[in-house]
Structure 1
Amino acid sequence: MINLPTLRQWRYLVALAEIRHFGKAAEACLVTQSTLSAGIQELETQLGAALVDRTKRKVVLTPLGEDLAARARELLREAEEMVLLARAAAAPLTGPLRLGVIPTISPFLLPRVLPALRRRFPDLRLFLREDLTARLVDLLLAGKLDLLLIALPYEGGAIDTLPLFDDAFALACRSDHVLAKQAGPVRLGDLADTQLLLLEDGHCLRDHALAACRLPPSPRRDGFAATSLHTLVQMVDSGLGVTLLPQLALAAGILRGTDVVTRPLAGDGGGRTAPARQIGLAWRRGTQRADEFRLFGNALHEAMDKTAATQDSTAS
């Protein structure tokens, strides 16, 4: 029988590959530097091969060390999933859950649903990471996040998705803008000659808004760009142009204190509904926690419905 290295030894190698410093890698593993160094040496002796080239200036992994570190990263992720799967079988959605959320969703949706999720799953420890979609997907595939709450569709990466709900777009403009005075929904063709303000490149909301309204990028539209929806609203309030805002942000009161109003957007007349983006969950394809993540999605959807019903009754 082969004498297999321990998960602890593989964790030391992965930490060293990521940090490239014995002392800092030891701190990340919560051990002394001598313990980590000895663990790496034991691993090399056990395998009969050098994994690390030790110099005074820097840590360099051998080609074999780099290859084994990448494989060990997957091994550790699978081992962690096995533990979490066992816990979920006894009590789903308990313990840590690392959730990545894009910034055009996080501040508008999470305050509505987190209180209900905490009440329903009191032993769930939710760690949140806000970032752009592409970076969140990279972290998900690297095993550093468990689940994503993003706008769909998203092409790229070995991920599975669960659509939750549609988030309709509305036109936002100053109250003195010509489109604010237009009767009925604003037609998509009416936006062709307007100064349409959008988020900067990298934000999926920009691409989803343009795709939903079938508006190609143009020099006129690329003249101004914002880094957040709040900045976008301030630009519109200053009279720089109009924009498209999702219902999530509008329901959260993003226009409060401004002279910005909204107008509904019409479909294309061919049976299409008004433009919208789709909000959903994403996880690594093949994960054994898919059922647990679907349960989280259902709970999130139910929490949204309850808060919407509460808002409606308060408004009436």
Structure 2
Amino acid sequence: MTIRQLSYFVALAEARSFGLAARRVHVTQPALSQQIKELEANLGVSLVERLPRDIRLTRAGQVLLERARAILGDLSDAEQAVRLQRGLTGRVSLGVIPTIAPYLLPLALTRLKTRDVTLDIRVREAQTARLVEDLGDGRLDAIVIALPVPRSGMVAEPLFTDRFLLAGSESRLAMVRAARSPAQVPLDQLLLLDEGHCLADQALEAVCGLANRPMRVDLGASSLSTLCGLVAEGFGLTFLPEIAVRTETAAAPALRLRRFSDPEPSRTVALVRRASSQDDGWMRELAEILRDAAGELLAHAADAGRD
């Protein structure tokens, strides 16, 4: 077995298509197919069931997938230990959730480049489940997500507390003047992100305590910016994190905000790495830069929504 064969096999197992897997690893489909055939020949077993429009792993393939991911993760950890042996230098692959990325990254990346123009920072924006998977498999060095981390074997460095405000048009907010806690917001007026976005889960469960309540919630918006544009024009209400206030109020001048009573609903945002990866100071340095960038955004939002 070779590392190339294992990486091609993992790509195939995840993409469930020879064509998609080949594009993911930047080779031609015949080249990937040949490597998989050689891997099967070397092992003496069939790893993949080749179907007309799909592929399925055999039992042997499922066993190999688990081991291959662990091997590739260990290799990534070894590479990272060398790249980051002098702190935050070389190349860093960072994943960020969509409700943080467009607000935090512009400020943070500017600070990172100012600190070290040679730093090769590679950013991936995706939902929490995919980022945690990519971090665990070694495709990312660290991720920025909201706690708790939904997987063991991870180390989290809290960055900041991000409070939620009620957002909508002036007329909509006037209609719910008495709503001083998230649970008092009428569900038939509440708009949230698509299912799968962590902000939807946080708002409904941790923030609103609505996990066991009957729900009539429109989960049709795919981005927080789209959602803010809708509610600014009177199409319901939503919860807006402080970190997004500066950007979204500038983009939608009609958007109005109101703070909830204490204790204000919030989420804790953290920088997360694998526990198995070596930390020679790079995580602390990266966390300080991210925390500083977030502090500027939160300071701007400090007085937003206050009566």
TM (norm. structure 2) is 0.77
1:77 paired residue number: 73
Secondary structure of 1:76's aligned partner: helix
Alpha-carbon separation, structure 2, partners of 1:231 and 1:10: 42
| Match in the other structure for 1:160 | 155
Equivalent of 1:145, from 118, 133, 140? 140
Write out per-residue CA displacement over residues 59-82 of structure 1, whole angstroms, 9 at most, x where no aligned residue. Answer: 998755654454244223323322
Q: Which residue of 2 aligns with 1:128?
A: 123
Does the aligned pair in 1 maintain the 2:183–2:210 contact within 8 Å?
Answer: no
Q: Which residue of the partner structure matches residue 222 of structure 1?
A: 217
Give 1:255 shift. 5.0
Correspondence 1:75-114 to 2 at 5 A? 75-89=71-85, 91-114=86-109
Answer yes or no: is the 8 Å Cα contact 2:242–2:298 preserved in 1.
Answer: no
Q: 1:84 to 1:55 in 2, by over 3 A?
A: closer
CA shift for structure 1 position 306 = 5.8
Q: 1:16-36 CA distances to partner (integer Å, 9 max, x unpaired)?
A: 4533759x7699487997899
Residue 94 to residue 52, structure 1, CA distance change in 2 (3 Å)? farther
Q: What 5-or-longer segments of structure 2 have no aligned partner? A: 303-307
Q: Match of 1:234, SS? A: helix
**Structure 1 residue runs without a partner (length 5+):** 268-272
Note the C-alpha offset of 1:119. 1.3
Distance 1:74 1:201, change over 3 A: same
Shift of 1:13: 3.6
Q: Find the partner of 1:256 among 236, 251, 270.
A: 251
State the distance in 2 between where 1:180 and 1:42 align. Answer: 65
- The alignment's C-alpha RMSD in Å is 4.0
Tell me the CA shift for residue 176 of structure 1: 2.3
* Distance in 2 between residues matched to 1:194 and 1:72, nearest whole Å: 47
Measure the CA separation in 2 of the matches of 1:42 and 1:199: 43
The question of 1:186 aligning with 2:176 is answered no
2:267 counterpart of 1:277? yes
Tell which deviates more after alignment, 227-236 or 103-112: 227-236
Query: What is the one-letter code of the residue matched to 1:171?
Result: L
Contact 1:117-1:303 at 8 Å conserved across structures = no
Q: Give me the identity figure in percent.
A: 31
- Distance verdict in 2 for CA 1:40–1:79, change over 3 Å: farther
| Higher-Rg member (1/2) | 1
SS, match of residue 248 in structure 1: helix
Per-residue CA distance 1:24-59 (angstroms, 9 max, x = gap): 7699487997899699859966xxx42557999999
| Residue in structure 1 matched with residue 305 of structure 2 by the alignment | none
Could you tell which deviates more after superposition, 94-103 or 173-182? 173-182
- Number of corresponding residues: 294
Q: Tell me the TM-score normalised to structure 1 length.
A: 0.75
Kindly indicate whether the alpha-carbon contact (under 8 Å) linking 2:77 and 2:276 is maintained by their aligned counterparts in 1: no
Distance in 2 (CA, whole Å) between partners of 1:240 and 1:26 is 40
Deviates more, 1:144-153 or 1:284-293: 284-293
2: CA distance between counterparts of 1:301 and 1:146? Answer: 18
Q: What does residue 10 of structure 1 align with?
A: 3
- 1: distance between equivalents of 2:187 and 2:48? 63
Answer yes or no: is the 8 Å Cα contact 2:145–2:269 preserved in 1.
yes
